């Protein structure tokens, strides 16, 4: 992986952690302040972040599997 790719990967991980913490804090603040809107927004932020991470990793694993199958078919 190139240096630029490493930086993008680190930035994506940092953004994911920040989004998860923001969702958790927003949810907690909504519950503490008895605000259904804030709690719902926090939960939606958490769920959206988790879904985005899951979809991204699924795509990466599918691509790696495709490359591995292609490489094995060229060998034998």
Per the CB < 8 A criterion, the answer to whether 14 and 49 are in contact is no
Burial level of 10, CB count in 10 A (0-12/13-18/19+)? Answer: exposed
Task: Please state at what angle helix 3-32 crosses helix 36-75, rounded to 10 degrees.
Answer: 150
Question: What is the tens place of the pLDDT at every residue in 8-57?
Answer: 778 888 888 999 999 999 999 999 999 999 999 999 999 999 998 888 88
Q: What's the predicted TM-score (pTM) here?
A: 0.72
Give, as one character, the DSSP assignment of residue 1: -
Residue 76 — pLDDT band, cuts 50, 70, 90? low
């Amino acid at each position: 992986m190139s240096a630029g790719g490493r930086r993008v990967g680190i930035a994506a991980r940092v953004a994911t952690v920040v989004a998860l913490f923001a969702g958790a804090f927003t949810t907690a603040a909504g519950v503490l302040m008895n605000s259904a809107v804030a709690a719902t927004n926090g939960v939606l932020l958490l769920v959206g972040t988790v879904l985005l991470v899951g979809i991204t990793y699924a795509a990466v694993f599918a691509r790696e599997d495709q490359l591995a199958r292609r490489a094995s078919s060229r060998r034998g």
